Amino acid sequence: MAGRRDGLLARSNGSPSRGSRIAMAVAVGVLLGCVCAFLYPDGLFRSFSTLPSHGQDSAADWSLGNSAKCETSERTNVLKSELASLSQKNEDLKKQVMELTTKLKLAEQGKDQAQNQFVALGERRKAGPFGTVKSLRTNPTVVLDESVNPRLAKILEKVAVRKELIVALANSNVKDMLELWFQNIQRVGIPNYLVVALDDEIERFCNSSKVPVYRRNPDEGIDSIGRSGGNHAVSGLKFRILREFLQLGYSVLLSDVDIIYLQNPFDHLYRDSDVESMSDGHNNMTAYGYDDVFDEPSMGWARYAHTMRIWVYNSGFFYIRPTFPSIELLDRVADRLARQKSWDQAVFNEELFFPSHPGYEGLHASKRTMDMYLFMNSKVLFKTVRKDAHLRRLKPVIVHVNYHPEKFARMKAVVDFFVNGKQDALDPFPDGSRY
Ligand SMILES: *[C@@H]1O[C@H](CO)[C@@H](O)[C@H](O)[C@H]1NC(C)=O
Ligand SMILES: *[C@@H]1O[C@H](CO)[C@@H](O)[C@H](O)[C@H]1NC(C)=O
């Protein structure tokens, strides 16, 4: 273990140690020169030629014994100043070597570019006193680009409020849930929402229900996925379609259709992060993060390993601001879903949370977990809230029936309980699913 660690250190510091070795060699050379000049002011070879022929020890005696009488103080001063200027030159050389080494290292790691990016973002400032420092988490929005999709830009101009809106993707498999979804949105009085119809039936249905709908042109390649694709393919499509909304300068509250709206979510957002998402967690720890201590008794003194844990963000309900990290997130998720068969929510969370490490560049988007009681998942509702006299009186902003397969029945029960005041509406359902 120790050996491996040393090896790593040596490798990661390779260039600076090479640089300082050069500097050391230069320094030693210059120093030797100075000593020689001091000891043999008339030249090395002449001094040696005057040496008595009986060995090294007397040579030392000779130089000590003679230095006082054969040097003038003027000569000493000249030598001293030469020494000073030489060591100054040596310092300069050292600095140059150091600078070169640093530049080389930065270039190797591509950090120059990152530094430029950072400088472009804002003026460099001093840190200021203790406790007053805040880092950047609200990234600047991208410059909007209408040319990406002029038709969508027109629709969004009409639908969005303050440049933000709810967006849901739907095909005819989820028609019943979609209807319940927009009925509750309309009941709460939310004007800024849009259905992205993945087939004609849903577009017609929205048209006839006076629901704002956007249907992509059939010749825009990815739509064939939306018509025929299973859940997996549609998940990837979602991230690609969202990208255009962000490029057009809008913040999107992406919403699955198995969600009941009880208040206007736009009154409950912080808007300070690239991604603000509801959690799959079910209590303070799991939703907001905790130290999960892993115990390995065979390690003795070091048996406890501390691990950082948080339950995943729900990729079926999140607010995303039009920033570079956000768009990079969508691209990374869409790209991975196109290349591998994975659960989109797992990919979404991995891209959001995994840090940079050897061979991998992390995303570094800022993120915020929504209040788990205001943006409530169905585990919180059925496992905890409905059994707690105090929590039962809460009024969530939304309830997402994400944890249960009999979605439509539970969605109707949620409406009965929170909207129609039917106190026993949630009772027939078990905490989890029936199998
Ligand atoms: C829905 O309405 C739009 C706008 O009025 C129209 O262009 C479109 O053809 C309609 N779609 C369907 C499937 O009826
Ligand atoms: C969870 O955290 C909130 C806010 O910090 C606190 O008020 C509440 O009591 C906590 N709940 C539990 C069960 O610990």
Distance from Cα 25 to the centre of ligand 2, integer Å: 63
- Residue 391 alpha carbon to ligand 2 centre in Å: 12
Q: Ligand 1 centre and the CA of 203: distance in Å?
A: 7
Mean pLDDT within 137-151: 93
Which protein residue has the closest C-alpha to ligand 1 atom 5?
207
pLDDT for 187 beyond 80: yes
Residue nearest to atom 14 of ligand 1 (CA): 204
| Mean pLDDT confidence for 172-200 | 97
Average pLDDT score over residue span 158-176 = 97
CA of 215 to the centre of ligand 1 (A): 9
pLDDT beyond 80 at 102: no
Instruction: Break the chain into its structural domains and give their ranges.
Output: 79-122, 146-371+397-403
Give the number of the ligand closest to the Cα of residue 288.
2
Report which protein residue has its CA nearest ligand 1's atom 1.
207
Is pTM beyond 0.85? Reply is no
Report pLDDT digits (tens) over 236-266. Answer: 899 999 999 999 999 999 999 999 999 999 9
Average pLDDT over residues 369-378: 98
Flag whether pLDDT at 337 surpasses 90: yes
Given a cut of 50, whether residue 59 has pLDDT beyond it is no
Question: Distance, CA 270 to ligand 2 centroid (Å)?
Answer: 20
Ligand nearest to the CA of 289: 2
CATH architecture, domain 146-371+397-403: Alpha-Beta Complex (3.90)
Q: Which atom of ligand 1 is nearest to the CA of 206?
A: 1
- With 50 as the cut, is the pLDDT of residue 278 above it? yes
Length of the chain: 435
For the cut 70, the answer to whether the pLDDT of residue 408 exceeds it is yes
Q: Give the tens place of pLDDT for each residue, 389-400.
A: 999 999 999 999
Question: How many angstroms separate the alpha carbon of residue 209 from the centre of ligand 1?
Answer: 12
The finding on whether 204 has its CB within 6 A of some atom of ligand 1 is yes
Residue nearest to atom 2 of ligand 1 (CA): 207
What is the reported pLDDT for 269? 98
Atom number, ligand 1, closest to the C-alpha of residue 200? 13
